[in-house]
Amino acid sequence: MVHIFIVLTLLIKGFCSFEDLEMDKQVEQEANRYSDVLLLDYYESYNLVARKVFGFFRYVNQSCPNVKCVLKGDSDTVINLTGMEKLCEIMPDNNLTITGYYGWDKPLRDLQSKWYTPYFVYPIKTWPSLVSGFSYLLSGYGIVPRLMNTLETKTSFFTSENFRRLWEDILFTGIVRDLSEIPLVHNTGFHWGNKPDYWWHEGKRIILALETRTDCTESCSTEYAWNLVQANRRENNFSTFSSYECHLQTLREVPDFRNSIGSSLVRSQARNL
Ligand SMILES: *[C@@H]1O[C@H](CO)[C@@H](O)[C@H](O)[C@H]1NC(C)=O
Ligand SMILES: *[C@@H]1O[C@H](CO)[C@@H](O)[C@H](O)[C@H]1NC(C)=O
Ligand SMILES: *[C@@H]1O[C@H](CO)[C@@H](O)[C@H](O)[C@H]1NC(C)=O
Ligand SMILES: *[C@@H]1O[C@H](CO)[C@@H](O)[C@H](O)[C@H]1NC(C)=O
């Protein structure tokens, strides 16, 4: 069976803070009802997305390290689950790979930019090859434990707040992947931007992931994406769970999880305040 996990990166202002208790309540209700939300204990901010994605990988590392495929998708990206299942099936079982759409190659050094990276965080001129974070597929049994091991032994993630502020795709699909000697596969079906692109497979054009943009007039509009979601529902018969083997648990069911989610991260943040 193919195991796919999706992480939704919710960039909601006030999420899990006193600012929006109603939202917190709804998320908790969803989590308790469907066990499909992993609640992580940290501050929601654009600079801390790598920490969130780490929390997700750490969960996989602890609770289901032996899955073949792990998919990361942003909440503004529509995923063709049937297509992802198909892609996962044809990926090798034991050769580890990260598949996605090639992203930026150079750190931005413009102080005004939202994506500014200081030299003291990353002094090299180019990033290792990486794929865009809207969605990417990790495949091969044991890939997440391998990445977590590299993160722990070969990077300063656990000791450097600056390092943890690198964007998650640069960190996980670029730096950590490269240090783990895991190859990257470019697949145009994971498109992002204004025009969707396709994965050509067995003579068919397949959209694997689509970044939705409300200002988009072509086939990346919200409406188009919604149709894609509905088609996915039909194809996947969503009323039943596809994977009982790695059922997500809520914080309530895992009382230790709140403490175990990188206590060093919490400490280091306190130091910087
Ligand atoms: C990943 O799991 C292994 C085996 O349980 C454990 O030794 C390691 O500390 C875990 N890594 C992280 C970052 O949680
Ligand atoms: C999604 O993937 C399935 C399975 O490969 C494919 O049949 C379908 O056409 C894809 N949908 C889109 C919109 O590309
Ligand atoms: C797995 O990797 C090895 C070494 O790089 C290569 O020789 C082999 O062909 C790969 N297997 C598959 C199924 O891709
Ligand atoms: C689709 O889901 C319904 C309701 O859960 C179930 O009765 C039916 O057998 C499913 N069909 C397939 C093809 O899995």
Distance 59 CA to ligand 1 centre (A): 10
Number of structural domains (the chain) is 1
Average pLDDT score, the chain: 78
Distance 240 CA to ligand 4 centre (A): 7
- Whether 170 has a pLDDT exceeding 50, the answer reads yes
Nearest CA to ligand 3 atom 9: 95
How much is the pLDDT for 54? 92
Judge contact between 131 and 173, C-beta under 8 A: yes
Which of 78, 80, 197, 201 to probe ligand 2 with, by most ligand atoms within 8 A of CB? 80
- Domain membership of residue 88 as a residue range: 9-260
Name the band, by pLDDT with cuts 50, 70 and 90, for residue 264.
very low
Q: What is the CATH number of the domain that holds 162?
A: 3.90.550
User: Which residue's CA lies nearest to atom 1 of ligand 3?
Assistant: 95
Q: Return d(Cα 252, Cα 2) in angstroms, integer.
A: 28
Whole-angstrom distance, CA of residue 261 vs CA of residue 51: 10
pLDDT at residue 2 tops 60: no
Does residue 210 lie within any of the structural domains? yes
Decide if 159 is inside a domain.
yes
Give me the pLDDT at residue 46, please. Answer: 77
Top pLDDT among 132 and 260 is at 132
Q: How confident is the model at residue 216 (pLDDT cuts 50, 70, 90)?
A: low
CB of 208 closer than 6 A to ligand 1?
Answer: no
- Compare 106 and 217 and report the one with higher pLDDT: 106
Q: Summarize the chain as % helix, strand, coil (round to 5).
A: 35, 10, 50
Q: pTM of the full predicted structure?
A: 0.81
% of the chain surpassing 70 pLDDT: 74
60 in any annotated domain: yes
Which ligand 4 atom sits closest to the C-alpha of 240? 5
Asked if residue 1 is part of any domain, the answer here is: no
- Whether residue 28 contacts residue 94, with contact meaning beta carbons closer than 8 Å, is answered with no
Q: What is the mean pLDDT of residues 150-162?
A: 94
Quick check: is 118 in a domain?
Answer: yes
Question: What is the pLDDT, as a whole number, of residue 218?
Answer: 65
**pLDDT tens for each residue of 33-75:** 777 777 777 777 777 889 889 988 998 899 889 899 999 988 7
Nearest ligand 4 atom, CA 239: 5
65: left (phi over 0), alpha (psi -120 to 50) or beta: alpha
Q: How far does the centroid of ligand 4 lie from the alpha carbon of residue 232, in Å? A: 14
Q: Check residue 28 and give its pLDDT.
A: 75
What six digits make up the tokens of 256?
């230790």
Contact (Cβ atoms closer than 8 angstroms) between residue 26 and residue 91:
no
Atom of ligand 2 nearest to the CA of 206: 14
Report how far residue 189's alpha carbon sits from residue 262's, in angstroms, rounded to the nearest whole number: 34
Residue pLDDT, tens place only, 89-145 = 999 999 999 999 998 889 999 988 888 888 988 999 999 999 998 899 999 999 999
The answer to whether position 117 is within a domain reads yes
| Spacing, Cα 62 to ligand 1 middle (Å) | 6
